[in-house]
């Protein structure tokens, strides 16, 4: 029995970052985050014998995390995804062009990159829970469309479409809020 608990501890250790990424992007309340994370691993423990090896174990656990968060959001009747609209109801479109800053020295470049990363992180946090999660899974966790589809239960085409929308909303929001010089 102690081998089982040690094995499960290793599973938690190997997947807690991924689960935290999903839970933290979808759930805003810190206490709910803790409860949901515990609930995720309770579900994993109870259902581990039913894991069918049709995907990586981490993908299966991420799917449980996603579904647990989704169920929580559905119970709370919270908005799960959004779009950026003009006053007339059409989606906002902003063209960034091909702007690139001209920075000569290394120190300025490093400071500039840190500022950009902070701005980007702030704006990502303002996206809907679904879009934040998709961007995080794809860009931070480097999961494939297939893996994200397994986690979210969305078809590959929908994952690609939602990622496109999330990036477009992020881009539009950044361009509306910040001057090109700040980006």
* Same domain, residue pair 70 and 13: yes
Q: Does 83 fall in a domain?
A: no
Q: Does 23 fall in a domain?
A: yes
Burial class (CB in 10 A: 0-12, 13-18, 19+), 160: middle
Q: What is the pLDDT of residues 97-146, one digit of tens each?
A: 333 333 344 445 555 556 777 788 888 888 998 999 999 899 888 889 99
Domain count, the chain: 2
* Same domain, residue pair 110 and 165: yes
Residue 56: per-residue pLDDT: 86
Q: Which domain holds residue 166?
A: 106-182
Residue 77: per-residue pLDDT: 63
* Same domain, residue pair 14 and 65: yes
Mapping DSSP to helix (H, G, I), strand (E, B) and coil, where does residue 81 land?
A: coil
Residue 141: per-residue pLDDT: 85
* Residue, of 20 and 73, whose pLDDT is higher: 20
Residue 113: per-residue pLDDT: 59
| Rounded Cα gap, residues 30 and 34, in angstroms | 6
Residue 84: per-residue pLDDT: 38
Burial class (CB in 10 A: 0-12, 13-18, 19+), 36: buried
pTM of the model: 0.54
* Same domain, residue pair 53 and 118: no
């Amino acid at each position: 029995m102690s081998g089982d608990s040690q094995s499960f501890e290793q599973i938690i250790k190997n997947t807690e970052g991924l689960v935290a990424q999903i839970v933290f992007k979808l759930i805003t309340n810190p206490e709910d985050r803790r409860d949901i994370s515990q609930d995720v691993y309770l579900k994993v423990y109870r259902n581990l014998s039913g894991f069918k090896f049709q995907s990586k174990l981490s993908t299966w656990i991420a799917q449980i995390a996603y579904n647990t968060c989704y169920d929580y959001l559905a119970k709370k009747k919270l908005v799960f995804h959004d779009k950026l609209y003009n006053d007339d109801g059409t989606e906002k479109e902003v063209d960034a062009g091909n702007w690139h800053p001209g920075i000569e020295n290394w120190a300025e470049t490093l400071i500039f990159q840190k500022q950009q990363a902070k701005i980007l992180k702030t704006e990502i946090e303002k996206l809907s829970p679904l879009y934040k999660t998709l961007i995080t899974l794809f860009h931070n966790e480097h999961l494939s469309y297939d893996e994200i589809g397994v986690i979210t239960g969305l078809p590959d085409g929908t994952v690609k479409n939602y990622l496109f929308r999330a990036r477009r909303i992020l881009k539009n929001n950044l361009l509306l809020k910040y001057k090109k010089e700040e980006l």
